[in-house]
Amino acid sequence: MSAPDEPRDEVARGAAYGLLAYGVWGVFPLYFHALQPAGPVEVLAHRIVWTLLVCVAVLLVRRDLAWVGPLLRRPRLLGGLALAAVAIAVNWGVYVGAVVSDNVADASLGYFLNPLVTVALGVLLLGERLRRLQWAAVVVGLVAGIYLSVAGGHLPWVSFVLAASFASYGLLKKRLGAELPALHGLTVETVVLAPFATVALVVLGVTGQQTFTHDGGLHAVLLVLGGVVTAVPLLLFASAARRVPLVTIGLLQFVTPVLQLLCGVLLLDEHLSPARWFGFGIVWVALVLLTLDSFLARPRRGRGGPEPAPVV
């Protein structure tokens, strides 16, 4: 194979990894819906515990533990990872709660809104300057949020909490990502959350509210697989982000909420009123503006820039 073909092969492979990762995240509603009658707390606790075990197993197989000692001597980095753990725990918990309460469309809207909230956080917390199309996208996104609140008769808090928590997680990962690979970061985050998850499982067991041992072997297996379905797409994403341009990753991330919305409407029998469809349409206009801005800015950015945080 000629040398010029190798970068193209790497980009193609990276795009395939990215598409697979975002595709897996896109069908998460079907997986979490299958975990019923387990409640959000039990699902979240199992997801944390089994994800930690998967991460530890991978690290042991790779003999990749030398980073632990130096990390323990960096309290500031540990503090940042602890905050990231809280943000992702909120995101996971609200997302699972949305799925099991038949609000997949609201969850999908949250991930559609996430790029807009991420841009807003960049302005408010990092002092970043927006270009005209980015400002237009933020304004249109704000209009969509107001419209959906008025049309629905209530604040779509599930969507906003998912967008805000994930954008916060993305912001923290952006600042910490250069210092710690994705697998290491996820391991530390689940270590932080594991004690709380363990206590939750014990309390559910003592009070007779756990389903792990009471709803058949398949149900137990599905709960255990929460660790695999969390870790595998993250590793695929990490492989993709190293191989493809940032613009490609930015476009691929819209695969997830589109698939989530389709799962909710077509497979889980959720109903969206015409008013809500119109609100989604306003959000999509904002995303088109952001996408157009990414293409126009590409010659200046090239392949550089920070990687977006994965959907987890």
Domain ranges in the chain are 7-301
The C-alpha atoms of residue 273 and residue 230 are separated, in whole angstroms, by 32
Pair 149, 156: CB distance under 8 Å:
yes
Please provide the DSSP assignment of 10-44 as one string: HHHHHHHHHHHHHHHHHTHHHHHHHTTTS-HHHHH
pLDDT at 86 (0 to 100) = 94
Contacts of residue 70, defined as CB under 8 A and 6 or more positions apart, other chains included, come to none
Give me the pLDDT at residue 309, please: 53
Closest CA to 20 of 250, 252, 222: 252
Average pLDDT over residues 4-23: 79
- pLDDT surpasses 90 at 199: yes
Across 1-15, 27-41, 246-260, 295-309, least confident range: 295-309
- The pLDDT tens digits for 135-159 are 888 888 888 888 888 877 777 899 9
**pLDDT over 60 (residue 301):** no
**Tokens standing for 146?**
């107001």
Joined together, the tokens standing for residue 10 give 């790497």
The tens digit of pLDDT for each residue in 36-80 reads: 889 999 999 999 999 999 999 999 999 999 999 999 999 999 999
| 99 Ramachandran zone, left/alpha/beta (phi>0; psi -120 to 50) | alpha
Each residue of 113-142: pLDDT tens digit?
Answer: 888 888 888 778 877 788 888 888 888 888
Dist. CA 164–CA 169, nearest whole Å: 9
CB atoms within 10 A of CB 181: 13
**Nearest residue to 233 via CA among 188, 186, 199, 279:** 186
Q: d(Cα 243, Cα 58) in Å, to the nearest integer?
A: 22
Burial 269-305 (b: 16+ CB within 10 A, else e): ebeeeeebeebbebbeebbebbbebbeeeeeeeeeeb
